[in-house]
Structure 1
C-alpha cells in the first residue's frame, strides 16, 4: 500500500475520474461534500487543504481529503461547514488509521460527520447518530404522505399559512435552481441576520466562505452543482435555500427566510416545495444533516448514519488538542441529544443575539481616523 499526499489541484484527469468512479460505486458516498469538485473548490480558497492518494498494486484504491492545520491538527475537509466526510474508496479498504495520519503528517484527526462504518475509522468511532433524510426514491407523493402520517396537524397548518400568504401578499411561486447571483446575496443576508439574532457566529463575515458559495453556485455538471431555490409571494422573495447536489442527492446547507414573513412559517413551506421539485428533477433524497431541529422529525422518512470519533498519534500536540476539544464535544452531544436542553440552549443564544444587536445599535459610529 502506497500513500502519497498532494493538493487536490495536483490531481490529473485520470485521478479525478477515478475519484468519481469510486464515489458512484458506493451509495454511502453519494454526498456532494465527498465530491472531487468540492475538494477542488476548497483548495482554491484555503492553503491547508490536502488529499491522500492511496494506491495498491498500481491502482488507486481511495482518496482521503483533509485539512492540515498548525501542529499537525487534522480536520475534515470543510470542517464546520460540512455535514459529511470520510474516505472515498473501495468499500473494503482498511488501513491502519495511525499509519494514514503519519503519511498525512497529522498528529490527530477529529471527525463528527464521518460516513459510519468505514473499516479504517470504525475502531475509533465513539458515537454513531442518524442524519434524517427526505427519501424521494419512490417519488414526491409517497414522501408527502409519510409527512402527513408523521404530523398531520403540522402539514395542515403549513398549507393553511401558505394559502393565507398567497391571499395577503401575492400568488406563491417556487424557483428551482436559480442562477441569479443577487438572489443568492438575498439569501446570505437573511442567513447573516439569523446568525446575529440567534447568537451564532456569522459565517458570511468570512469572505472566503462567500466566495466558496459563489464558486459552487457557478458549478453545474451532471455529477455536482450548487442549487439555489426560492419561494416568492408575488414578486417578493420569502424563503430560500442554497445546497449542493450530486446526480441523485441534494444536501441541506444554508436555509433562511425573511423574518417579515415569519408568521407564515416560510421555511417549512419552502422545504415542501423544494422536496417536490427535487423529486421532479430526478433527485432521490434530500440529506438534512444530523441536528436537533424539530422540523426534521416530521419531514424525514429515512436516515443515514454518521459517526463521531478521534484518531491520534502519541504527541504533545494531540494531548493538548484533546484537553481543549473533549469537554466541548461532550457538552454538545448532551445538548443535542435532549430536546429540552436544545431548546433552552437555543433560547439562551437568541437572548445573547438580541443583547448584542441592541448594544451594536446603541454604540455611535466611530469617525474614521483623519476624517474631517
Structure 2
C-alpha cells in the first residue's frame, strides 16, 4: 500500500469516475458528504485541506479526504462533516484506527465514521436517523400519521394557528437569496452564545465553506437553503445538503417569536414534500421529535484512531470518566477543528472550561484545560 497526498480538487477524470462508482454502489457511502464535489468545494475553504489517494500495486484502491491540525487529522470540513470514511471498493474496509496512519498523522478524530472500528479507548457507537420516502410523500406521511397520530395532528394544528396569527405559510425550498443565509448564521451564533457553546462560525472559514456549497452548481450535488414564510416574513430557515436522491438536513434555525408553532418541523415537512428525494437524513439521534419522522437507523462511530504517542484527546479519556469524557472530547474536537492557531484554541478552551464549571462540572473543565496544555506545549 502506498499513499499519495494531493489537493482536494486534483482528481483525474478516471479517479473521479472510480470514486462515484464506489459511492453509488454502496449503502456505506450513501450520503452527500461522500460526494467528490463536497471534497472539492469544502477543500477551497477548509484550512489544511488534503486528499489521500491510496494505491496498491499501482492501482487506486481508496480516497480519504481530511484536514490537518498540526500532527492531528480530522474529516474534511469538521466540525460540519457528519459522515466520513475511506472511500473504497466493496472488497476493502479501512478502520478508524488505520486512518491516522494512512495520512501520516498522530491521530484521526471522527464523529460519524461509517467504516469499521474497535470499541474502547475513546471510540463509541452512535446512531443517525433517516426517513425512507421512496414510495412518495403521500404514502410516507399516511404511514407516519397512522403510527403517530397525536404528534402529526398537533403539527397540523400548529400550522393552522401559525397562519391564523401571522399570515399564510409559503415555502421556498431552494432560495438563492443569500441574505437568508446570513440570517441563518446570525441565529445560530446567537444560539451558541445563549447556550455557551463554541461558536463554530466565529473562525470565518466555516461560513465561507457553507457559502461555497450553497452557490455550487453541480448536476447531482449541492447545498439547499429552504425558507418558511408566514405572510411576507421569513420565520424559519434550514440549510440542507443534497447528493443524488439523498437529502441531509443540516443547519436549522427559526425566529424566536415563531417557536410555539414548531416552524422548524413544518419547514422540514414542506422540504420533504418538495425535494422528491428517496432518503432524508435527520442526523444524530437525541432530539425526541426525530423518532416521529424516521423509520431507519444507521450506525456510525465516533472517537479517535491513534497512530502513536499521547494526544490531548487521549489525555481527556484518562482524566474524565464515561459520559463526561465523551462530552469533553466532543467540545475539544469542535474547537480543534475550527480554530487554527494556538491562541484561538487556548481562548476557546478557556471559555469552554468556564462554561462547564459554571454548570458545576468541574472535572470536565479541568480536563479541557489540561488538554489545551497537552496541545500547546
TM-score range, shorter chain: 0.7 to 0.9
Q: CA deviation at 1:249?
A: 0.8
Cα 1:17–1:329 change in 2 (3 A) is farther
Aligned to 1:157: 154
Aligned to 2:59: 59
Q: Distance in 2 between matches of 1:20 and 1:156?
A: 41
Q: Is the 8 A contact 2:316 2:325 kept in 1?
A: no
- TM-score of the aligned structures, taking structure 2 as reference length: 0.80
Cα 1:149–1:268 change in 2 (3 A) is same
Corresponding residue to 2:314 among 299, 312, 322: 322
State the superposition RMSD in angstroms: 2.6
**Secondary structure at 1:315's aligned position in 2?**
coil
Aligned to 1:7: 7
Q: CA deviation at 1:332?
A: 6.6
Aligned to 1:48: 48
Q: CA deviation at 1:284?
A: 0.7
Q: Distance in 2 between matches of 1:64 and 1:239?
A: 35
- Structure 1: tracts of 5 or more residues without a match: 336-348, 354-372
Corresponding residue to 1:207 among 204, 207, 225: 204
1:39-118 superposed matches below 5 A: 39-70=39-70, 72-94=71-93, 101-115=100-114, 118=115
**Secondary structure at 1:8's aligned position in 2?**
coil
Q: How many residues were matched structurally?
A: 329
Q: Distance in 1 between matches of 2:321 and 2:202?
A: 24
Q: Distance in 2 between matches of 1:165 and 1:94?
A: 49
Q: CA deviation at 1:220?
A: 2.6
> Do residues 304 (structure 1) and 301 (structure 2) align?
no
Q: Distance in 2 between matches of 1:324 and 1:63?
A: 30
- TM-score of the aligned structures, taking structure 1 as reference length: 0.81
Q: Is the 8 A contact 2:42 2:212 kept in 1?
A: no
Q: Distance in 1 between matches of 2:251 and 2:94?
A: 34
Corresponding residue to 2:130 among 130, 133, 138: 133
> Do residues 289 (structure 1) and 286 (structure 2) align?
no
204-213 vs 140-149, greater mean Cα deviation: 140-149
Q: Is the 8 A contact 2:53 2:64 kept in 1?
A: yes
> Do residues 234 (structure 1) and 226 (structure 2) align?
no
**Secondary structure at 2:134's aligned position in 1?**
coil
Cα 1:100–1:239 change in 2 (3 A) is closer
14-23 vs 172-181, greater mean Cα deviation: 14-23
Cα 1:325–1:123 change in 2 (3 A) is closer
Q: Distance in 2 between matches of 1:35 and 1:325?
A: 33
Cα 1:92–1:139 change in 2 (3 A) is same
Q: CA deviation at 1:47?
A: 3.3
